[in-house]
Amino acid sequence: MPVLHSLKVKFVAALVLLVSLVIGLSTWWTLEVHRGHMLHATEDKVRALTEAIDRGIHVAMREGRSQDVQRILEGVGRDPDIEKIIIFDTHGKILRASQPDLVGRVLDRDRLSRYLDQPDFAVTGLHENGRLVQSVVKKIRNRPECFACHGTGEAVNGILHVDMSFRKTQEQIREMEGTALWTMLLTAAVLAAGGTILMVRLVERPVGSLMRAMAKVEGGDLETRAHLGRRDELGQLAQSFNAMVDRLKAARAEIEVFHQQRLARAERLATLGELAASLAHEVKNPLAGIAGAIQVMADELPETDPRKEIMGEILDQVHRLDKTVRDLLAFARPGKPDIGPCDIHQVLDRVLILLAENPAAKQVRVVRAYQAGIPSLDADSKQLGQVFLNLLLNAIQAMPTGGQITLKTTLREMDGTDGNTSMARDRVVEVALTDTGPGIPPHLLQDIFNPFFTTKHRGTGLGLSVSRRIVEDHGGWIDAESRPGQGATFRVCLPVETLTRQTGEPLP
Ligand code: ADP
């Protein structure tokens, strides 16, 4: 499986992304708040410092220590956060400065007029050296105590300009940003590692062992079971999986038994068939010879000869034997179905007409419950006729004192495979033949389709086995249902469209 499709990778990536996003946003917000506070604190500090310098200048000037002003400025200017402090006159000439080399320089006109035109102000901006600087400009007023030296003509004696950098604040902010970034990276790494371990322990390992068990079962090993040793959802899944494999195993065992039974029956049939065929072959010709000879002898006897009756009886028995031999041959070497379009109702009606001649049939009422619109089948109508003749004869023989036979046809939709056979079919025509005879005892139901199984004095026990073979050769199936005392129902199902087995192998 590609790494990107792995549940573990998806989960850990989503976790790390989500947590990083949350931490990132909250850190950014905290930093913004801190930055604002620190900038305000620096502004307040510059203002306070400017006020202090202003007051210091006044005191020094009042006491006639004008030289002290330069010293105060140089002293305060040693603070690494102070970029510069200058005092200039209204013509822009720098009178005092924290850096002595600035004294005597003159400010350009634009700047000067900006300072003069505005009241005292504080502004934050970028210094020439690229640092963020807070500038405070304050006019030094000409107060009464200054009049002695400065006269009364000017309202302003000079302008004090303090530039203080945010170096420390910026350093602190950078430090905080660094810490936040590392915290975020560390949290992401811890989460990725923790998430991976959790995913491996809670999901990947159990799912992996479940998948391995599934692959083994898929490969045909039904002994495999998934043992996760846990009671969570995955544990329950493993239990359901095990239960499913148990059921699969039981179903496979059942199918194996079923196939073995079929195989055994096929083998038995093949052996019996061979035996029956060779026996029938041996018996057939001499039987014809005997019948011929008896017929000739009987023909030569005068009508009044009592031996003629005996000859007739012998001939009857020989004909019965001949029928048995023919049945045997039909069972052992059934002809290939001669497939063609076949109307099932026509087949049934033809058999009924044939039976009407049978004296035993006269006692039986036949009810035809044909479904309209049954499609034509691809089948051998002669062979199907033989099947229904066998079934009808059995029903008639089961009701010597009369009764009723119901012939019901139904078109059925089937999907997939049916429990009885492994043939593929979509639509089947079902012919159900129900009689009102004594029924079949439950313990005999499984034997009636076996060759030579009969409960009749003169039966061959081949009718149902031949019928079953014909129906199966048509891709269909036949079964019987009966409750003693309540008659029997024989159901013949024939596929409408397909005559191929599920394996795709065409039927013989
Ligand atoms: P046979 O008719 O020669 O006995 P079959 O194979 O046709 O051979 O039938 C096997 C047995 O199934 C019958 O001997 C009978 O016991 C039972 N049987 C078949 N059809 C019916 C039926 N309609 N009612 C009761 N028993 C039946």
Structure confidence by residue, pLDDT tens digits, 146-186: 887 888 888 888 899 988 887 777 788 888 888 888 988 89
Band (126; pLDDT cuts 50, 70, 90): low
Mean pLDDT of the chain: 85
Q: Which residue's CA is minimally distant from atom 23 of ligand 1?
A: 395
The number of the ligand 1 atom at minimal distance from the alpha carbon of 455 is 14
Q: Do 362 and 301 share a domain, yes or no?
A: no
92 and 7 in a common domain: yes
CATH number at residue 164: 3.30.450.20
Residue from 353, 361, 377, 371 nearest 471 by CA: 377
* SS3 labels along 318-369: HHHHHHHHHHHHHHHCCCCCCCEEECHHHHHHHHHHHHHCCHHHHHEEEEEE
Q: What is the pLDDT of residue 502?
A: 38
Q: Is residue 210 part of a domain?
A: no
Mapped onto helix, strand or coil, the DSSP state of residue 64 is coil
Say yes or no: CB of residue 73 within 6 Å of ligand 1.
Answer: no
User: Residue 1: what pLDDT?
Assistant: 58
Residue 37 shares a structural domain with residue 150:
yes
pLDDT of residue 36: 85
Range of the domain at 158: 3-172
**Using a 6 Å cutoff on CB, does residue 464 contact ligand 1?**
yes
Q: Which residues contact 160 (CB under 8 A, 6 or more apart)?
A: 50, 53, 54, 57, 85, 86, 87, 137, 138, 139, 140
Residues 165 and 284 grouped into a single domain: no
Query: Of 145, 172, 199, which one is at a domain's C-terminal end?
Result: 172
| Distance (Å) from CA 271 to ligand 1 centroid | 22
Read off the CATH number of the domain in which 272 is found.
1.10.287
pLDDT confidence of residue 499 = 47
Most ligand 1 atoms within 8 A of CB, residue of 269, 454, 468 to mutate = 454
pTM for the model: 0.48
Residue 292 resides in a domain: yes
Domain boundary among 308, 333, 358: 333
User: Last residue of a domain, which of 333, 350, 373?
Assistant: 333
Do 376 and 424 reside in the same domain of the chain? Answer: yes
The pLDDT of residue 504 is 36
Q: What is the pLDDT of residues 399-443, one digit of tens each?
A: 999 999 999 999 998 765 444 444 444 799 999 999 999 999 999
**Residue 3: band (very low, low, confident or very high) from pLDDT cuts 50, 70, 90:** low
Q: What's the pLDDT at 241?
A: 93
Give Cα separations from 257 to 221, 252, 263, 264 (angstroms).
18, 9, 10, 10
DSSP result, 201-256: IIIIHHHHHHHHHHHHHHTT-TT--------SHHHHHHHHHHHHHHHHHHHHHHHH
202 domain residue, yes or no: no
Regarding whether 86 and 17 lie in a shared domain, the answer is yes
Written as one letter, the residue type at 381 is: S
Give tens-digit pLDDT for 435-484: 999 999 999 998 999 888 999 887 888 889 889 989 998 999 999 999 88
Instruction: Work out the percent of the chain whose per-residue pLDDT is above 90.
Output: 32
CA distance 133 to 464: 112
Structural domain count of the chain: 3
In a domain, 34, yes or no: yes
| CATH number of the domain residue 351 falls in | 3.30.565.10
- Same domain? 240 vs 165: no
Same structural domain, 274 and 387: no
> Do 60 and 157 have their domain in common?
yes
> pLDDT digit string (tens) for 65-111?
878 888 889 998 898 888 889 999 888 999 999 999 999 999 888 88
The answer to whether 327 and 390 are in contact (CB under 8 A) is: no
Atom number in ligand 1 closest to CA 454: 14
pLDDT of amino acid 387: 94
Q: What pLDDT, on the 0 to 100 scale, is given for residue 127?
A: 65
pLDDT score for 128? 63
Q: Does residue 240 form part of some domain? A: yes
pLDDT at site 464: 93
Asked whether residue 323 falls in the same domain as residue 347, the answer is no
Q: Are residues 76 and 164 in the same domain?
A: yes
Q: For residue 267, give the amino acid letter.
A: E
Residue 247: the pLDDT is 94
For the stretch 73-77, contacts whose Cβ atoms lie closer than 8 Å and that sit 24 or more positions apart, written own/partner, are: 73/97, 73/98, 74/98, 74/100, 76/49
Which atom of ligand 1 has the smallest separation from the CA of 490? 23
| pLDDT tens per residue across span 304-350 | 888 888 998 999 889 888 888 887 777 777 677 889 999 999 999 99
| pLDDT at residue number 341 | 92
Please tell me the distance from the alpha carbon of residue 205 to that of residue 311, in angstroms, as a whole number. 90
Tell me which residue has its CA closest to atom 7 in ligand 1: 463
> Would residue 92 count as lying in a domain?
yes
| pLDDT digit string, tens, across residues 11-56 | 888 888 898 888 889 888 988 898 888 778 878 888 888 888 888 8
Instruction: Evaluate whether 72 touches 60 at the Cβ level (below 8 Å).
Output: yes
Q: In this structure, are 369 and 287 located in the same domain?
A: no
